[in-house]
Structure 1
């Protein structure tokens, strides 16, 4: 009997190293929370569990397909997914790495926004691309909502019939400069947009605000959210006119801003002044006439469909003299109008 002995230490060590390598591969590739895929000859040849979860399908639906098959026909930039994918793969092989944003189409029909990173490597003797997806769907949806909100704000800002000014309360050099304004603000105050932007809000005010006054007002705005008041503005042509001002604090691109909405109330003030004059004329008239003049009021509405007798009873029960002149008081011997 002839026997041979062969040292297989190196082979065993290689097998152990291979097993450890496969275990590391399983941990890093298969169990990663990010989607990992292998692209060979333009198609997916392997993927991990995270990929299946992201696409809401199984690996059999993924393996063997090129990236554009599980993508919408067009990407957000308007290019066809097939053309764009081929270009990005070629760029990665040429330059060593490529990172970009992409939309894939899940197997339930919904869109999946991912940040893709692809890098070339040799795998099992073949040139391949190691691909990483990071789900950015929530971020893209938040960005979309923010963009829509900003567009709505700008539409309301530009089309509002009221004057709107956006003020920076933290500018290091100019006291509360106007950083934006709408056409209504320019029209109401007589200035062009170029004449208003960058200027202190004191351009419109009758008196300049001190730093302490401005800080106190800003703190008050933070507490109350909205402050409504009436003030006077200086028009470019020199005349002064009354305005109703609604002021609030808003955040624009991470910066605290003061939003002022102004309304010209000249006509309302004129109408109020005319009403006061009318009341003065009325009171002057009734105080001078020799006949007794009085005005009835009721503590509740009267149903005019009631019979006359009931209406009379109602008058006695619910109506009272709200106002009378001196002649009426003298006629009935009333010492005090009250």
Structure 2
């Protein structure tokens, strides 16, 4: 580890490069020509490095220059380190997902956990068996802080306004023909009419997902009147278990509802009786600072591919 005092001394590493060329050429003039700079610029660089080291590094000999004993020590050490640094800087990174052991941290909206994770893990096991995923909960109130603090490499979530330093890529969450939200219920306990009316909807008891720890859900936040909330849960992962075998209604994203109906075919969904409020849709979100992270980019692509496959399968009733 470098201490703060090392950085405070502010050595321009380019001075070492100039010194190495002077030593190799044995001439300020030839070094300047090789470096495509003027002779005074080379001389000034040598003076700056000499002042930094605190000892003479070259001395005149005939029409040229030779390195001193201290200069020879510095030259040997510089060559040992400058070449590897140059090689690292110029190397073209090669990313192979099948051999990568990278760890990728994903911020995932709770409504997508049961829908996306099983297929994503299966795809990862096939295409990048050595990679590691770390999943963190995220929602529209927390996604910005998690991304800008690098607590996650990217997120899959719904978001409001975000700074320009965050890249936003729409994720195909549902076909245009699907409404953003639908009403999920258990017909064994809730005998709803074929066309659910607004009066009937608000007369029933509901389970809502509230991230604020209150009894407000998506309907209340959209400006509609308050429902009769019997239970408020902190995540969508609770909804299916609460609705199953109960008279409660749940208003949830249609994509999530279709996934629940695939796994619990005895449940039903009904169109909402009021004008559907807009949904911004799920997005892939990441900081521009992580844009060149090959491992994160690979997993983002995998998330997109898996999501498209899931949506396509949910469009075909009865197909698994």
When normalised by structure 1's length, the TM-score is 0.22
Between the two structures, name the one with larger relative contact order (CA 8 Å, sep ≥ 6).
2
> Considering only CA atoms, is the larger Rg found in Structure 1 or Structure 2?
1
TM-score relative to the length of structure 2: 0.23
More strand by share: 1
